[in-house]
Protein backbone atom coordinates (compact mmCIF):
# COMPACT_ATOMS: atom_id res chain seq x y z
CA UNK A 1 0.00 0.00 0.00
CA UNK A 2 2.84 2.40 0.76
CA UNK A 3 4.26 1.69 -2.72
CA UNK A 4 0.91 2.66 -4.21
CA UNK A 5 0.81 5.94 -2.29
CA UNK A 6 4.49 6.88 -2.82
CA UNK A 7 3.90 9.10 -5.90
CA UNK A 8 1.20 11.07 -4.10
CA UNK A 9 3.16 11.38 -0.87
CA UNK A 10 6.32 12.42 -2.72
CA UNK A 11 4.43 15.17 -4.51
CA UNK A 12 2.90 16.29 -1.24
CA UNK A 13 6.29 16.36 0.44
CA UNK A 14 7.58 18.67 -2.31
CA UNK A 15 4.58 20.89 -1.62
CA UNK A 16 5.41 20.92 2.11
CA UNK A 17 9.01 21.84 1.34
CA UNK A 18 7.79 24.79 -0.70
CA UNK A 19 5.59 25.80 2.23
CA UNK A 20 8.53 25.69 4.60
CA UNK A 21 10.54 27.76 2.16
CA UNK A 22 13.56 25.43 2.26
CA UNK A 23 14.02 25.42 -1.50
CA UNK A 24 12.47 28.76 -2.41
CA UNK A 25 14.76 31.22 -4.14
CA UNK A 26 12.07 33.84 -4.66
CA UNK A 27 11.90 36.86 -2.36
CA UNK A 28 9.14 36.90 0.21
CA UNK A 29 6.06 38.89 -0.63
CA UNK A 30 4.09 40.97 1.79
CA UNK A 31 0.37 40.15 2.15
CA UNK A 32 -1.94 42.41 0.17
CA UNK A 33 -3.57 45.24 2.08
CA UNK A 34 -7.03 43.74 1.87
CA UNK A 35 -5.73 40.46 3.31
CA UNK A 36 -4.14 42.34 6.20
CA UNK A 37 -7.42 44.07 6.91
CA UNK A 38 -9.22 40.73 6.86
CA UNK A 39 -6.72 39.29 9.32
CA UNK A 40 -7.41 42.10 11.78
CA UNK A 41 -11.13 41.41 11.62
CA UNK A 42 -10.47 37.70 12.04
CA UNK A 43 -8.52 38.12 15.24
CA UNK A 44 -11.33 40.18 16.79
CA UNK A 45 -14.46 38.41 15.64
CA UNK A 46 -13.86 35.01 14.12
CA UNK A 47 -14.68 31.73 15.77
CA UNK A 48 -13.33 28.57 14.09
CA UNK A 49 -15.89 26.87 11.87
CA UNK A 50 -16.24 23.12 12.37
CA UNK A 51 -18.56 21.94 9.62
CA UNK A 52 -17.95 18.20 9.83
CA UNK A 53 -17.39 15.68 12.57
CA UNK A 54 -14.41 13.36 12.28
CA UNK A 55 -15.39 9.98 10.86
CA UNK A 56 -14.66 7.01 13.14
CA UNK A 57 -12.92 4.96 10.49
CA UNK A 58 -9.80 2.74 10.62
CA UNK A 59 -8.74 4.21 7.27
CA UNK A 60 -8.06 7.52 9.02
CA UNK A 61 -5.88 5.71 11.57
CA UNK A 62 -3.55 4.57 8.81
CA UNK A 63 -3.47 8.06 7.35
CA UNK A 64 -2.68 9.58 10.74
CA UNK A 65 0.19 7.11 11.17
CA UNK A 66 1.88 9.05 8.36
CA UNK A 67 1.74 12.13 10.58
CA UNK A 68 -1.22 13.95 12.10
CA UNK A 69 -2.29 16.95 10.07
CA UNK A 70 -4.80 19.33 11.61
CA UNK A 71 -6.80 21.72 9.45
CA UNK A 72 -9.01 24.44 10.87
CA UNK A 73 -11.22 26.52 8.59
CA UNK A 74 -12.05 30.05 9.64
CA UNK A 75 -14.00 32.87 8.05
CA UNK A 76 -11.07 34.40 6.16
CA UNK A 77 -8.09 32.18 6.91
CA UNK A 78 -7.17 28.50 7.23
CA UNK A 79 -4.69 27.07 9.73
CA UNK A 80 -2.85 23.84 8.98
CA UNK A 81 -0.52 22.12 11.45
CA UNK A 82 2.04 19.80 9.88
CA UNK A 83 3.78 17.19 12.08
CA UNK A 84 7.50 17.41 12.77
CA UNK A 85 8.26 14.49 10.41
CA UNK A 86 6.80 16.47 7.50
CA UNK A 87 8.63 19.66 8.45
CA UNK A 88 12.22 18.54 9.01
CA UNK A 89 14.82 19.62 11.54
CA UNK A 90 16.36 22.25 9.26
CA UNK A 91 13.28 24.49 9.40
CA UNK A 92 13.56 27.40 11.83
CA UNK A 93 11.22 30.17 12.86
CA UNK A 94 13.47 32.58 10.99
CA UNK A 95 13.15 30.64 7.73
CA UNK A 96 9.39 30.39 8.18
CA UNK A 97 9.09 34.15 8.74
CA UNK A 98 11.39 34.93 5.81
CA UNK A 99 9.24 33.03 3.32
CA UNK A 100 5.83 34.13 4.54
CA UNK A 101 3.62 35.78 1.96
CA UNK A 102 3.82 33.44 -1.03
CA UNK A 103 2.24 30.16 0.04
CA UNK A 104 1.14 31.29 3.51
CA UNK A 105 0.75 34.52 5.45
CA UNK A 106 2.46 33.41 8.67
CA UNK A 107 3.78 30.33 10.43
CA UNK A 108 4.75 29.21 13.91
CA UNK A 109 7.32 26.58 14.82
CA UNK A 110 5.83 24.71 17.77
CA UNK A 111 7.74 23.17 20.67
CA UNK A 112 7.17 19.63 19.39
CA UNK A 113 8.73 20.48 16.01
CA UNK A 114 5.44 20.79 14.18
CA UNK A 115 4.59 23.96 12.27
CA UNK A 116 1.24 25.73 12.15
CA UNK A 117 0.76 27.64 8.91
CA UNK A 118 -1.83 30.35 8.48
CA UNK A 119 -2.98 30.98 4.92
CA UNK A 120 -5.67 32.84 3.07
CA UNK A 121 -8.54 30.99 1.48
CA UNK A 122 -6.89 31.53 -1.91
CA UNK A 123 -3.60 30.06 -0.70
CA UNK A 124 -5.43 27.09 0.79
CA UNK A 125 -7.27 26.58 -2.50
CA UNK A 126 -3.93 26.56 -4.33
CA UNK A 127 -2.67 23.87 -1.93
CA UNK A 128 -5.76 21.72 -2.50
CA UNK A 129 -5.35 22.16 -6.26
CA UNK A 130 -1.79 20.86 -5.96
CA UNK A 131 -2.94 17.82 -3.97
CA UNK A 132 -5.75 17.26 -6.47
CA UNK A 133 -3.29 17.24 -9.36
CA UNK A 134 -1.08 14.74 -7.52
CA UNK A 135 -4.06 12.42 -7.07
CA UNK A 136 -5.01 12.83 -10.73
CA UNK A 137 -1.47 11.86 -11.75
CA UNK A 138 -1.57 8.79 -9.50
CA UNK A 139 -4.94 7.68 -10.92
CA UNK A 140 -3.60 8.10 -14.43
CA UNK A 141 -0.66 5.85 -13.58
CA UNK A 142 -3.09 3.19 -12.35
CA UNK A 143 -5.04 3.18 -15.61
CA UNK A 144 -1.83 3.03 -17.63
CA UNK A 145 -0.29 0.23 -15.56
CA UNK A 146 -0.31 -3.36 -16.84
CA UNK A 147 -0.67 -4.58 -13.25
CA UNK A 148 -4.31 -3.56 -12.96
CA UNK A 149 -7.41 -4.03 -15.14
CA UNK A 150 -8.44 -0.38 -14.86
CA UNK A 151 -9.92 1.18 -17.99
CA UNK A 152 -11.10 4.49 -16.53
CA UNK A 153 -11.20 6.11 -13.09
CA UNK A 154 -13.42 9.14 -12.49
CA UNK A 155 -14.35 10.96 -9.29
CA UNK A 156 -16.33 13.88 -7.88
CA UNK A 157 -14.80 17.24 -6.95
CA UNK A 158 -13.76 16.37 -3.39
CA UNK A 159 -12.62 12.80 -4.10
CA UNK A 160 -15.31 11.26 -1.89
CA UNK A 161 -16.73 9.15 -4.73
CA UNK A 162 -14.80 7.13 -7.31
CA UNK A 163 -16.22 5.32 -10.35
CA UNK A 164 -13.82 2.66 -11.57
CA UNK A 165 -14.42 1.00 -14.94
CA UNK A 166 -12.55 -2.25 -15.57
CA UNK A 167 -11.26 -3.78 -18.78
CA UNK A 168 -12.83 -7.07 -17.68
CA UNK A 169 -16.36 -8.27 -16.95
CA UNK A 170 -15.53 -9.46 -13.43
CA UNK A 171 -13.87 -7.80 -10.44
CA UNK A 172 -10.49 -9.40 -9.78
CA UNK A 173 -8.82 -9.80 -6.39
CA UNK A 174 -6.07 -7.29 -7.20
CA UNK A 175 -8.50 -4.61 -8.31
CA UNK A 176 -10.77 -5.34 -5.36
CA UNK A 177 -7.87 -4.86 -2.94
CA UNK A 178 -7.06 -1.52 -4.55
CA UNK A 179 -10.24 -0.07 -3.04
CA UNK A 180 -8.09 0.75 -0.01
CA UNK A 181 -5.90 2.97 -2.21
CA UNK A 182 -8.95 4.95 -3.32
CA UNK A 183 -10.01 5.34 0.32
CA UNK A 184 -6.54 6.67 1.07
CA UNK A 185 -6.53 9.13 -1.84
CA UNK A 186 -9.90 10.53 -0.81
CA UNK A 187 -8.96 10.50 2.84
CA UNK A 188 -5.72 12.40 2.23
CA UNK A 189 -7.59 15.12 0.36
CA UNK A 190 -10.22 15.29 3.10
CA UNK A 191 -7.59 15.75 5.81
CA UNK A 192 -6.32 18.91 4.13
CA UNK A 193 -9.84 20.28 3.69
CA UNK A 194 -10.52 19.77 7.39
CA UNK A 195 -13.72 17.87 6.60
CA UNK A 196 -13.22 14.11 6.79
CA UNK A 197 -15.89 12.15 4.97
CA UNK A 198 -16.66 8.57 3.99
CA UNK A 199 -15.20 7.56 0.62
CA UNK A 200 -17.35 5.53 -1.82
CA UNK A 201 -15.93 3.41 -4.64
CA UNK A 202 -18.07 1.92 -7.43
CA UNK A 203 -16.64 -0.80 -9.68
CA UNK A 204 -18.11 -1.23 -13.18
CA UNK A 205 -17.48 -3.96 -15.73
CA UNK A 206 -16.23 -3.24 -19.24
CA UNK A 207 -19.90 -3.41 -20.29
CA UNK A 208 -20.92 -0.76 -17.76
CA UNK A 209 -22.56 -3.12 -15.26
CA UNK A 210 -22.17 -2.23 -11.58
CA UNK A 211 -20.13 -5.01 -10.00
CA UNK A 212 -19.52 -3.74 -6.48
CA UNK A 213 -19.83 -0.69 -4.26
CA UNK A 214 -17.57 -0.14 -1.27
CA UNK A 215 -17.45 2.53 1.42
CA UNK A 216 -14.65 3.41 3.80
CA UNK A 217 -17.28 3.37 6.54
CA UNK A 218 -17.50 -0.42 6.07
CA UNK A 219 -14.02 -0.76 7.50
CA UNK A 220 -15.37 0.22 10.89
CA UNK A 221 -17.55 -2.89 10.96
pLDDT digits over 105-129, tens only?
A: 999 999 999 999 999 999 999 999 9
- Do 12 and 119 lie in one domain? The reply is yes
- Asked whether residue 79 is assigned to any structural domain, the reply reads yes
Q: What are phi and psi of 109, to 5 degrees?
A: -80, 115
Return the percentage of the chain with pLDDT > 90, whole number. 50
- Asked whether residue 21 is assigned to any structural domain, the reply reads yes
- Do 145 and 60 lie in one domain? The reply is no
- Do 79 and 33 lie in one domain? The reply is yes
- Do 69 and 98 lie in one domain? The reply is yes
pLDDT in tens, 164-190: 999 999 999 999 999 999 999 998 899
The domain in which residue 25 lies consists of 2-125
Checking if the pLDDT of 203 tops 50, the result is yes
Q: 3-state DSSP: the chain helix, strand, coil percent, rounded to 5?
A: 45, 20, 35
**Bridge pairing between strands 200-204 and 161-166:** parallel
Structural domains of the chain, count: 2
- Do 98 and 177 lie in one domain? The reply is no
Identify which of 62, 55, 83 has the alpha carbon closest to the alpha carbon of residue 180. Answer: 62
pLDDT in tens, 34-69: 433 333 233 333 434 444 444 454 444 544 444 456
**Rounded-to-integer distance, Cα 59 and Cα 98, Å:** 37
Domain-terminating residue out of 94, 125, 156: 125
Domain-terminating residue out of 92, 125, 158: 125
- Do 80 and 139 lie in one domain? The reply is no
- Do 169 and 99 lie in one domain? The reply is no
- Do 159 and 59 lie in one domain? The reply is no
- Asked whether residue 116 is assigned to any structural domain, the reply reads yes
- Do 9 and 117 lie in one domain? The reply is yes
Q: Could you write out the DSSP letters of every residue in 42-107? A: HHHH---B--SPPP--HHHHHHHTT---EEEE-SSEEEEEE-HHHH-TT--HHHHHHTTTTS-SEE
- Do 113 and 34 lie in one domain? The reply is yes
Mean pLDDT in residue range 149-177: 97
Q: Tell me what pLDDT residue 19 has.
A: 55
Q: By three-state DSSP, how is residue 108 classified? A: strand
**Rounded-to-integer distance, Cα 91 and Cα 113, Å:** 9
- Do 191 and 121 lie in one domain? The reply is no
Dihedral of alpha carbons 174, 177, 178, 179, sign: positive
Lowest mean pLDDT among 71-75, 91-95, 194-198: 71-75
- Do 21 and 112 lie in one domain? The reply is yes
Amino acid sequence: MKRILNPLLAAMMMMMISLCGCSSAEPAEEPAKDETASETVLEETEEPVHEEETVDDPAWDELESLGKIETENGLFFVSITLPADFVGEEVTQESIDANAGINYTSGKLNEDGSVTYRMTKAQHRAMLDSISQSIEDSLKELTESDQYAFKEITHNDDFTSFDVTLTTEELGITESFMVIAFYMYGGMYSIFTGKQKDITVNYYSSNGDLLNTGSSADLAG
